[in-house]
Chain A
C-alpha cells in the first residue's frame, strides 16, 4: 500500500474486497446476485420516516420559521424581492452590524446600494464580517437552509463572516430533506450534488467547555433569515 505504487495500492484494495467476498460469497453467481440487489436498492423508493408535515406553503412557512427560531436564527418576513435590501439594511442597523459585506454573486443584481449597503459579489475572506446568500431549498421539518456551492454561491459566504443573512423565497420551501434532494435531482446541473451541499440550521455552536452552550464556534455568531412570501 502506497500512494505512488499502483501494485501496492491495488493489493490493499484487493485484500479488503476479497476478504469480504470470502465471507459474503465469492463465486460469480453470488457476486452477480449481490450486484443485482444493489442495483435494485439504488432504484427503490424507501418509505418516508418524517412525521406527517404540512406541505402547503403557509404550513411549511410556519413550521420552517418556528424550527429556525428554535435553532437560534432570527427571522423576518417580507412580501417581495423589492423589499429585501431595505429589510437587510434595517436588520444590520438595528444590531449595529455596519453596512459592508460580501454577497453570493447570484444576488448581486438587487439594488443594495440604494438601501445604503456596500456588498461585494465574491467568495468570503477571513476579514469579512457580513455574508449574504440565497438558498437552494429551505426545509420546513427542521428549519434548515440547503445551499449548493457554485460560482454564483461560494461556500465561504455562509461560513467565514460573523453574520450570515440568508434570503429565503417561499417557493424554495420543501417539507423534508428527501424533498430537497428530489428537487436537487431535478434542478441541479446533471442532477448531481455539487462539490458542497451545506445544510445550515442556525449559527454555529459548541458545548465543549463544561457542556455550556456558546453560539459562534467556528462559523457565524448569528443567522438572520429574510422570508420572501411572494417569491
Chain B
C-alpha cells in the first residue's frame, strides 16, 4: 500500500471537523473501551490477575525476540515436517511475487482472503489482479472497504468509518439486489455473496495471529468464521506472517489468547480460534491440500536489537487506538498507511521511513492511555518520544520543526549570556506586541505560522519578566 502519511496534517484537520466520523468512532469507542474494562474486571474478580497476565504476555514475546533466528528455524523445521512449504520474503514486493507464483503454480483463478494486515503492506490484491487472479476480502469489514476501494481505518474494525447507509449503497451497487437497510439483512446478503466465493475459490490467503514453533502451526483468531472458511474450502492455503509473530508453545498460545480478545473487543474468547498444522491427509475428507508460509521481514528484522525492539511484541489487538484521544478525533485514514493509532504512529515511520511520516511521532498527546492498556506492555509514548528524538538528531522533519530547531538553538545560545538574553527578550516582547497591533492576540506568528493555524497566540504586554520584576522590586523599596 502506498504510504500517504506525509499528508497527515491536512487529512487530520479535515477529519477532525467531520462530525459524522466522530459519532461513529464514539459508538465504537464505547463498545471497545467499556468491553475491555468489564472483561478485565471480571477476570480479576474471578481470582485471575490481569496485570500479571500482561507481564506474562510481554515475557513470552520478549523471549522469542531474544532468540528469534533459532525460533524461526524451529518453526520452519516443524512446519516442513508436516508438509508445509516455508518461504521467506524481505519486502512487500517479494510477498506479492511469491503469492502470484503460487497462484500460477496451482492454476488459481480466484483467491479469498481473511484479514491480513501484511498483505495490505504489500498491496497484494492489486498484484494478484494484475495477473488475472480475482482476490476477494471475506472479513465483512474488509469486504466493505474493498468494495469502496478504501484502506482499512482500524485494525480490527476496518469499516468503522462507514455507516449503514453507505454500506447499503455499496451493496446495492455491487450485489445487484434490492437495497436493504436492516443490518441483519445486509449481513445475510453479504454472507450469501461471499459463500459463493468460498465454495468456488482455489486459494485462501490469511495472515496469522501467531506461529507456534513447537508444532509448526499458524493460529487464526476470528469471530465471523471466515478464517476457517479460507483455510478449509480452497485447495491451497497461503499464510503471510511477519517473522516476529512466532511464539514457543501451545501453552503460550493459551496464555496469549487470554489477553488478545479481552484487549481487542472485551470478549473472554473470540468465537473461533483455528490452529492449522500441515496439509490434508489421504483419508481426510476436507481441508487444504497445499500449505505455504511466507515469513516476512519488511522492516521487522531491523528493529530487533534496536531501541524500538519492544514494538515487535505487538499482538495487533487495537486497544491502543480504541483508547487514543487523537485517533478518536481523526480516525484511522488520517494516518496514511496500514496501521493507525499509537501503534501505527510508531510502526509507520519505522517500517516506511521517518521522512515519509514526519508528523506521526507527534500525533499523540503522550497521555499514556495506550501504554496502560497495551496487553504486552509496549511503552508506546516512550517509543514516540524516541522517534521524535531521532527526528531531531537526523534532521528529518517539516519546515516548522526545522524553524523550531533553529529558534531553540538561538535561544540556547542567548540563555547562556544573561546580558544578551535580557536584550533579546526586550526586543522580542516589543516585536510581538507590535505584531499584535494593539490587540491582545496574535493571529499569525510569522516565524512559525503553523503554531497559529488553529489558534491565536497571546500577545505580551510589551515588557519582559525581568523588567516587571525590577519595577516591582523598586516599588517595594
Contact = CB atoms under 8 A, between A and B. Distances in A.
B102 A12 contact: no
Most buried by B among A47, A70, A208: A208
Interface string B77-92: 0000010000111100
B248 A42 contact: yes
Interface residues of A, number: 77
Interface stretch (A30-38, A80-88, A89-97, A109-117): A30-38
Interface string B265-304: 1001111111111111101111110000001010001101
Contacts of A67: 268
A3 B98 contact: yes
Contact of A210 (B27, B158, B252, B284): B27
Given A17-B72, A21-B69, A196 B232 contact: yes
Interface stretch (B217-225, B375-383, B390-398, B459-467): B217-225
A38 B71 contact: yes
B2 to A, nearest CB: 22
B319 interface: no
A16 B68 CA distance: 11
Interface string A129-171: 0000000000000111000011100111001000000000000
Contacts of A46: 56, 249, 251-252, 255
Given A45-B251, A149-B287, 11 more contacts: A3-B87, A12-B87, A19-B297, A23-B304, A38-B248, A49-B258, A123-B285, A151-B284, A196-B231, A196-B275, A204-B271
Interface in A152-202: 154-156, 159, 176-178, 181, 192-202
B276 A196 contact: yes
A142 B271 CA distance: 10
23 contacts: A12-B89, A16-B72, A16-B297, A23-B305, A35-B70, A46-B252, A49-B254, A53-B46, A71-B269, A123-B286, A155-B228, A177-B257, A181-B250, A181-B254, A192-B215, A195-B278, A196-B228, A197-B275, A198-B273, A198-B275, A199-B272, A210-B183, A211-B27
Interface in A2-40: 2-4, 9, 12-13, 15-17, 19-21, 23-24, 31, 34-35, 37-38
User: Closest 9 interchain pairs by CB?
Assistant: A219-B225, A51-B48, A217-B224, A23-B305, A208-B141, A204-B225, A177-B254, A51-B46, A208-B140
Interface string B183-222: 1101110010011001100000000000001110100000
Given A181-B254, A198-B274, A51 B47 contact: yes
Contacts of A219: 224-225, 228-229, 271-272
B47 A52 contact: yes
A192 B250 CA distance: 11
Nearest to A223: B271
Nearest to B60: A46
Nearest to B86: A13
Contact of A159 (B89, B215, B232): B232
A42 B82 CA distance: 18
Interface of B: 24, 27-28, 31, 43, 46-48, 52-53, 56, 63, 66-74, 82, 87-90, 94, 97-98, 101-102, 105, 138-141, 144, 157-160, 162-164, 167, 183-184, 186-188, 191, 194-195, 198-199, 213-215, 217, 223-226, 228-229, 231-233, 243, 248-255, 257-258, 265, 268-281, 283-288, 295, 297, 301-302, 304-305
A3 B268 CA distance: 40
A207 B53 CA distance: 27
Contact of B225 (A19, A142, A154, A217): A217
Contacts of A9: 87-88
Interface of A: 1-4, 9, 12-13, 15-17, 19-21, 23-24, 31, 34-35, 37-38, 41-42, 45-47, 49-53, 67, 70-71, 122-123, 126, 142-144, 149-151, 154-156, 159, 176-178, 181, 192-212, 214, 216-220
A211 B157 contact: yes
Contacts of B217: 193
Contacts of A142: 268-269
A126 B43 CA distance: 39
A217 B287 contact: no
User: Secondary structure at chain A's binding surface: helix, strand, loop or mixed?
Assistant: loop
A206 B224 contact: yes
Nearest to B226: A218
Contacts of B141: 206, 208
Contact of A20 (B69, B188, B258, B268): B69
Given A17-B72, A218-B194, A159 B228 contact: yes
Contacts of B277: 192-197
Contacts of A24: 66-69, 304-305
B101 A4 contact: yes
A17 B224 CA distance: 36
Nearest to A157: B286
Contact of A49 (B56, B66, B105, B305): B56
A195 B157 contact: no
B271 A200 contact: yes
Contacts of B53: 49
A230 to B, nearest CB: 28
A127 to B, nearest CB: 10
Contacts of B271: 71, 200-205, 219
B254 A154 contact: no
Contact of B187 (A12, A15, A38, A217): A217
Contacts of A144: 269
A218 B224 contact: yes
Nearest to B32: A211
Contacts of A49: 48, 52-53, 56, 254-255, 258
Most buried by B among A38, A176, A220: A38
B101 A199 contact: no
Contacts of B82: 192
Contact of A198 (B47, B228, B283): B228
Given A195-B280, A195-B287, A205 B88 contact: no
Contact of A195 (B194, B249, B279): B279
B28 to A, nearest CB: 5
